[in-house]
Amino acid sequence: MRDNVTTLTQDQAMPQPVMIETAPGDDIILDVAAACCRFDVSAPALSRLFSHEPRRILRAVENVSFTVKRGTTFSIVGESGCGKSTLARMVVGLQRPTEGKLSFRDIRRADGTIGPPRVQMIFQDPYASLNPRWRVGDIIAEPIRELKLRSDEAAVQQRVGDLLETVGLSRTDASRYPHAFSGGQRQRISIARALATEADFLVCDEPTSALDVSVQAQILNLMVRLQKEFGLTYLFISHNLSVVRHMSDDLAIMYLGRFVEAGPAEQVFTKPQHPYTRLLLDTIPDVERPNRERRPMSGEVPSPISPPAGCTFNPRCAQAANRCRVVRPELRKLGGVEVSCHFA
């Protein structure tokens, strides 16, 4: 019974918790094996012929492997441009991996059926993902009608209204167009649409970046509740490390297309081992320390077109030694966490 999943109104029956065969967190739902994504960003072939420029390949994601367990949240953190959205797009099938394999495992649903999980994405850019010519009500109703999640039109409308209220908008907003909403309101519309699909696996690319902290708290609390009640699985991308800490079971720190540290979130937060992870945690802006001069990370931001030799973090790493400029450190397990640093 996933009917009233996201309804907040008290007078409706409380939703029935899903009976998951194994306890949530035990079974793998997504398996990513050595995924790579490369883009050819060369100048057009003809002009290359004259200028003798070589082909330029941008390595957006390089050799990334991980698994996500059902009913948990796996977060990816890293610098802007390090490949998070590209990885997310590969997971939902919007981007074909150049190499490697991404596969979802079948799950057993509440009604006893077994099949592949339903996957849905909340996009980083809410503007681009909402059709400006559709009313908000139709935008949210589309997946409900498409997937035949409700039997009749009245039930569809009821569900749309409930979803709008769930994300802190009002039922009457259904008749308006996206341009009449503020940035954060649009982000909430795209969250409502993602919830409308009743997906089992949600890929959330910066889902709350446009929201004020109070609405953000409402949305995050809702996501946690849905996870507890229905065993939803999240792949979560955010630059806000406080939000990541609140949400994550597992955490991967990405740098220039690769994972440099990955493991249980609490462990990574309390005992960061990779120099980049430590720098990241050090650079967080803090309300408690106003007007602090935050030092931006020193060193040129490297480019995924011509990544540095050896450890890709070496130009910015205070601990870098000669070996770091020649030999790339492999990910290796250090007390439950995978780290790629020669000196960790």
Partner 1 sequence: MTASAAQPLLSVRDLRIVFDGRHGPLTALDGVSFDIAPGEILGMVGESGAGKSLTGTAVIGLLEPPGRIAGGEIHLAGQRIDNLPAEQMRRLRGRRIGAIFQDPLTSLHPLLKVGDQLVETILTHLPVSRAEARKRALDLLKEVGIPAAETRIDHFPHQFSGGMRQRVVIALALCAEPSLIIADEPTTALDVSIQAQITTLLKRLCREHGTAIMLVTHDMGVIAETADRVAVMYAGRIVEIGPVEEVTRRPSHPYTAGLMASIPSVHVRHEHLNQIDGAMPRLNAIPPGCAFNPRCGRAEAFCRENKPGLPLSGHAAACHFPLKEAAHA
Ligand X SMILES: Nc1ncnc2c1ncn2[C@@H]1O[C@H](COP(=O)(O)OP(=O)(O)OP(=O)(O)O)[C@@H](O)[C@H]1O
120: Cβ contacts below 8 Å, ≥ 6 apart: 92, 143, 194, 197, 199, 201, 202, 203
Nearer to ligand SF4, 101 or 323 (CB): 323
- Residue 182: CB minimum distance to ligand SF4, A: 22
* 7-46: contacts with ligand SF4 (CB under 6 A): none
Tell which one of 178, 257, 275, 304 touches ligand SF4 (CB under 6 A).
275
317 binds, among partner 1, ligand X, ligand SF4, none (CB under 5 to 8 A by kind): ligand SF4
Nearer to ligand X, 3 or 165 (CB): 165
- Residue 190: CB minimum distance to Mg ion, A: 15
- Residue 315: CB minimum distance to ligand SF4, A: 8
Tell which one of 202, 324, 331, 337 touches ligand SF4 (CB under 6 A).
324
- Residue 159: CB minimum distance to ligand X, A: 22
Nearer to Mg ion, 60 or 192 (CB): 60
| 106-114, Cβ contacts within 8 angstroms, sequence gap of 24 or more | 107/27, 107/29, 107/70, 107/200, 108/20, 108/21, 109/18, 109/200, 110/1, 110/2, 110/16, 110/18, 110/19, 110/230
**Coil, strand or helix at 96:** coil
Does position 341 bind ligand SF4 by CB under 6 A? yes
Contact between residue 324 and residue 318 where contact means Cβ atoms under 8 Å apart: no
With 0-12 / 13-18 / 19 or more C-beta atoms within 10 angstroms meaning exposed / middle / buried, residue 302 is middle
Tell which one of 100, 229, 319, 334 touches ligand SF4 (CB under 6 A).
319
The residue ranges that bind Mg ion (CB under 5 A) are 85, 124, 182-183
Nearer to partner 1, 181 or 201 (CB): 181
- Residue 56: CB minimum distance to ligand X, A: 10
With 0-12 / 13-18 / 19 or more C-beta atoms within 10 angstroms meaning exposed / middle / buried, residue 193 is buried
207 binds, among ligand X, ligand SF4, Mg ion, none (CB under 5 to 8 A by kind): none
Does position 313 bind ligand SF4 by CB under 6 A? yes
* 91-130: contacts with ligand SF4 (CB under 6 A): none
- Residue 298: CB minimum distance to partner 1, A: 10
First to last CA, the chain: 48
Could you tell me the sign of the dihedral formed by the alpha carbons of 286, 287, 288, 292, in that order? positive
Q: Which helix (H) or strand (E) holds 91?
A: helix 84-91
- Residue 287: CB minimum distance to ligand SF4, A: 21
Nearer to Mg ion, 71 or 178 (CB): 178
343 binds, among Mg ion, ligand X, ligand SF4, none (CB under 5 to 8 A by kind): ligand SF4
Does position 79 bind ligand SF4 by CB under 6 A? no
Contact between residue 129 and residue 123 where contact means Cβ atoms under 8 Å apart: yes
Q: Per residue in 257-287, is it b (16+ CB within 10 Å) or e — as a string?
A: bbbbbbbebebbeeebbbbbbebbbeeeeee
Contact between residue 260 and residue 274 where contact means Cβ atoms under 8 Å apart: yes
The residue ranges that bind ligand X (CB under 6 A) are 39, 41, 58, 60, 80-86, 124, 179-185, 210, 304
